[in-house]
Structure 1
Amino acid sequence: MKTFKLYSLCVLEGKEGSIKQRAIPLKDGLIINMENEDRTWHIDAVTDSTHKPYFEKVKEEEGHLLVDAIITSKNNHPATMVTKVITITELSDGISVLLEAKLVLQKDEVIEDVIEDLVAEGLSGEELVSEFKERKNNLAAHSEKTLEEVYASLQQSGQYQLR
């Protein structure tokens, strides 16, 4: 097992054909790579009690959440994971939400989308290389197109009940 600091957590919700981001403000959090054959991760997010009804509803409906988790530092690329709520624990100053997660989108896939976008824009040669370096260095989140494709793919698979 490997444990990391959870820097930020954002729920990605499909609304009206696009992806809306719902930031979950964290008081604290950890993310654990279980390093098992199922490639399971656990996310423990400590947040304000105002989010309890939202997570309770997802758990009650046995639904899944698509999330972007940023690990360790704000400068890291987000890891997109499909999750389910395992437990919600009341704390003296908020709640702890334990999510079981599977990684669905990695940094390399996002970089591939950047290259595809640049080629589609007609860039080539030095202009392509220069613009790729710029976008790669400034890549703070996934492109809307990438997230919409992942969300649609997960919904069509029938394995997940995304909220």
Structure 2
Amino acid sequence: MKTFKLVSLKISHPQQQVRSQQIHLLDGLVINKEDEERKWLLEVYVDKEYEELFTKLKEEDQEVKVEATISRQDNDPASFITTIQSVAVMEQNMSILFNGVLVGKADMSEGILTELIDEGFQGNALLQEYKKRVDEKRNTGVKVK
């Protein structure tokens, strides 16, 4: 197994109105289990304010797309398709354990483009919005012209 520091996390869920939600992390780990199923574990430690969201996602027992930035903030995010294995609520904070598989970067780009086309972007506007959203996923804070 290999363990990495989780520095940023966004989640997407088919039932949500918002395209993705940034989760403020107190701490987190990403573990490559290196097993036959190519599974990864993501453990996030967050404020208790997320209790309703993660409890609901766990109860629904549906796949949750997660974009995790590993090791350094300027790394490209890695996309995972996960399920929530556990939600442990403590006094002020909580721990969530995701189990999932890594989705390739090509899938991430295709997902962004599909989303933009569905939203009606075309031509130069499509290119500019694509660059903006890729930048958002990288969390660099650099503005696209």
Question: What one-letter code is carried by the residue in structure 2 that aligns with 1:12?
Answer: S
* Structure label with greater radius of gyration: 1
Q: CA–CA distance in 2 between the matches of 1:93 and 1:15?
A: 27
Quickly say closer, same or farther: Cα 1:13–1:35, change in 2 above 3 A: same
User: How many angstroms apart in 2 are the aligned matches of 1:54 and 1:42?
Assistant: 19
How far has the Cα of 1:13 moved from its partner? 3.4
2:81 maps to: 82
The runs of at least 4 consecutive aligned structure 1 residues that moved more than 6 Å come to none
- Cα–Cα, structure 1 residues 2 and 110, in superposed 2: closer, same or farther, change >3 Å? same
After TM superposition, give the deviation of residue 43 of structure 1 in Å.
0.4
Stretches of structure 1 that go unaligned for 5 or more consecutive residues are 114-120, 122-134, 143-163
Match of 1:7 in 2: 7
1:73 counterpart SS class: coil
Structure 2 counterparts to residues 139-154 of structure 1, below 5 A: 139=135, 141=137
The alignment's TM-score, normalised by the length of structure 1, stands at: 0.63
Alignment-mate amino acid for residue 6 of structure 1: L
Distance 2:80 2:110 in 1: 18
- The 1-side partners of 2:20 and 2:35 are apart by 30
The answer on whether the counterparts of 2:79 and 2:108 sit within 8 Å (CA) in structure 1 is no
Corresponding pairs, count: 121
1:5 CA displacement: 0.4
TM-score (norm 2): 0.70
1:132 paired residue number = none
**CA distance 1:12–1:74, shift in 2 (3 Å):** same
Once the 2 structures are TM-superposed, how far is the Cα of residue 12 of structure 1 from its aligned partner?
A: 1.9
| Match in the other structure for 1:58 | 57
Shift of 1:112: 8.7
Identify unmatched segments of 5+ residues in structure 2: 112-122, 124-130, 139-145
